[in-house]
Amino acid sequence: MKNWIPLLLILLTLSSCKTRNAAKNTGKTQDSLVAAEDNRNPKDANEPVRDKLTFYEHVVVPLKFDQVKISSKVNVETGSFIPTLDATIYIENDKKVWMNLQAFFIGVARGIATPEGIKGQDKTSKTYIDSDFDYLNKLLNVNFIDYKSLEKILMGRTFVKISDSQFTLTKNAQGFKMVSNTNQKIVTEEKTREYKIVLNYDTNYDLLSVNLKDALSADELEISYSNWNEYNGIRLPKNVKIIIKGSKSSQILLENTKFDFSRMETAYSVPSSYKKIEIK
């Protein structure tokens, strides 16, 4: 049960990929089927985008909100059995992300992230952490997560830096696609890493997926979003999915069942009997 604290912190990004119906067999040869598909469905024929300004205005402008409370169902797949978790996620814009996890109506973990760092406690093992964002980066096999990127991940916003000079933007039947022209170098105090980055957006600019592949290792992070709807004037995803590949492989499915925009209390304190876990 000691994995609950990592789960609490990884929670932060997550969707079910859209399924596609297979083409029905019409008796034509395989070659003619492929040709017909290419002619009538241009979704893979990426074309340059002329109105780039409108695209960037939709995907990089900061989201305007004060706070949001998200009720979620969380399923974690790590190779070990973990029951479905009920999560309450409270985000106060630019200030904090607070989380509470329950299993079978019993509180099992709680945590809070602020621009200064992250804190989490596992009630099942009576342990806690108090760390900077390096801990979360290690869990996700990346090196760029800070408070603001964490907030954007949960809200389904573009959480990596994109620019017209570094990426190629194209349009297809599904929407928009951005691909890094060269490996993107991200420099932090801890390390420098390079990523191949691909982002996909719907025709209405909703983020569908972000894939980051480390250029020098097998580490890969993919976050996808689906079932977008408008709540209180802003668009949010109902389903989120995070897939971590590499030295640590796992996936997390988050189903957001309710959004509430009223302010709430976010109590967080660690009992004196809990043992601190040192981050290595």
Mean pLDDT value across residues 5-30: 38
Question: Quick check: is 280 in a domain?
Answer: no
Question: Quick check: is 228 in a domain?
Answer: yes
Question: Quick check: is 272 in a domain?
Answer: no
- With tokens 């069942």, the residue in question is 257
Per-residue CA distances from 136 to 3, 76, 272, 274 (Å): 13, 16, 24, 21
The two three-digit tokens of residue 273, written as one number: 């009997």
Range of the domain at 228: 4-16+45-264
- With tokens 């004037």, the residue in question is 233
Chain segment 229-276, per-residue pLDDT in tens: 999 999 999 999 999 998 778 899 999 999 999 999 999 999 999 999
Question: Quick check: is 150 in a domain?
Answer: yes
- Residue 103, pLDDT > 60, answer yes
What proportion of the chain, given as a percentage, has pLDDT over 70? 82
What proportion of the chain, given as a percentage, has pLDDT over 90? 64
Q: What is the CATH number of the domain that holds 51?
A: 2.50.20.10
Mean pLDDT value across residues 165-194: 90
Question: Quick check: is 271 in a domain?
Answer: no
Question: Quick check: is 35 in a domain?
Answer: no
Q: Strands, E, within 117-233: which ranges?
A: 117-122, 127-131, 167-171, 175-180, 184-187, 192-202, 207-214, 220-231
Mean pLDDT value across residues 7-22: 35
Of 87 and 32, the one with more pLDDT: 87
**Do residues 115 and 147 lie in contact, with contact meaning Cβ atoms separated by under 8 Å?**
yes
Question: Quick check: is 63 in a domain?
Answer: yes
Question: Quick check: is 181 in a domain?
Answer: yes
The tally of domains found in the chain comes to 1
